[in-house]
Chain A
Amino acid sequence: MQKVRVKPLMPPGHVRTPAYLRGKVGVIERSLGVFPNPEDLAYGVTASALPLHRVRFTMADVWGANAENPDDTLDAEIYEHWLEPADAT
């Protein structure tokens, strides 16, 4: 499974990438096809179709040593423009 990092960006406005996952590394669990970009839809402008992926993180990936149980997992849908290869610096 492809290892990806959620970009650690904090842009203003409506985005659907939860802040608690930004900068975290996970793997693509499945790809869902393309969907209209919610960052455009929110402002009523023509939305480009963007690939959407389900990314799986371990609780250790997300919460580090504070994880309740490090091997439990968390899946979230993240738009491709928010993802970068995990080896990118």
Chain B
Amino acid sequence: MPHDHHDHDTLSPSGHPYRADDDAPLSYWQVMEIAVRELLVEKGITTASEIASQIDTMDARTPSNGAQVVARAWCDPEFHAALMDDASEATRAMGFDIGALKLIAVENTGDVHNMIVCTLCSCYPRNLLGLPPDWYKSRAYRSRTVREPRSVLAEFGVILPDKTKIRVHDSTADMRYIVIPNRPEGTENMSQNDLAGLVTRDSMIGTGLSITPPPIGA
């Protein structure tokens, strides 16, 4: 049995250790956040329910928004041109509430593969794709991607030929980036909606590729 452990006092019924309670004292910044939030509510500038609803809005944003943008760019040449020209405006016109997000779309081709990183912190197009994965914020990803992008890609299972040029984009200031991955071969007859299902979060960060569907009848 995979979970045939015998330490019943410290392991959960599924056989994994219980997560320790978070009993450490609040950090300086946690105290600061609570203090500022309580002051804003006390002074009537915002309310607890407005804050909760903003958190809901952020949690409702998912990579499927970006996948719809990519699938449309694959299908609609006019939208594709608008997206490459001004990605913020094009995604807004498509109906996404991306706030003040300043977005640049970078496109993979047969010769070029794009990858996004933020070495200084964890800049990510949250207003379109939702919260970034934890690894995106890790020191390892941030420091290694600018130094050895091919090794990082290989760990994600993406091995590119030497002749494919890798373009790493370090979002150091005000822009955020989305990669437009290559449209998989054999998808000429798929609907835009079905195509969106092939666009993974990682393919829009550049650590993955879009999914190639199995051949029909396979």
Our pick among B149, B168, B169, B173 for the contact of A79 (Cβ within 8 Å) is: B173
Closest to A68 in B: B148
> Contact string, A68-89, partner B, CB cutoff 8 A, digits 1/0?
1101111111110000000000
Q: What residues of chain B lie closer than 8 Å to A72, measured between beta carbons?
A: 149-150, 165-168
Known: A16-B120, A18-B120, A74-B146. Contact between A52 and B166, CB under 8 A? no
A20 in contact (CB, < 8 A): yes
The answer on a CB contact under 8 Å between B151 and A18 is: no
What range describes how many residues of B lie at the interface? 20 to 34
Q: What residues of chain A lie closer than 8 Å to B150, measured between beta carbons?
A: 68-69, 72
What range describes how many residues of A lie at the interface? 20 to 34
A78 to B169, CA, bound (A): 12
B119 in contact (CB, < 8 A): yes
A71 to chain B, nearest CB (A): 6
A23 in contact (CB, < 8 A): no
B170 in contact (CB, < 8 A): yes
25 contacts between A and B (CB under 8 A): A16-B173, A17-B172, A18-B170, A32-B174, A52-B173, A52-B174, A62-B146, A63-B147, A68-B148, A69-B150, A69-B166, A71-B165, A72-B149, A72-B150, A72-B166, A72-B167, A74-B168, A74-B169, A75-B167, A75-B170, A76-B169, A76-B170, A77-B171, A77-B175, A78-B173
**What are the 6 tightest A-B residue pairs by CB atom distance, in nearest-first order?**
A77-B173, A72-B166, A76-B170, A68-B148, A74-B168, A76-B172
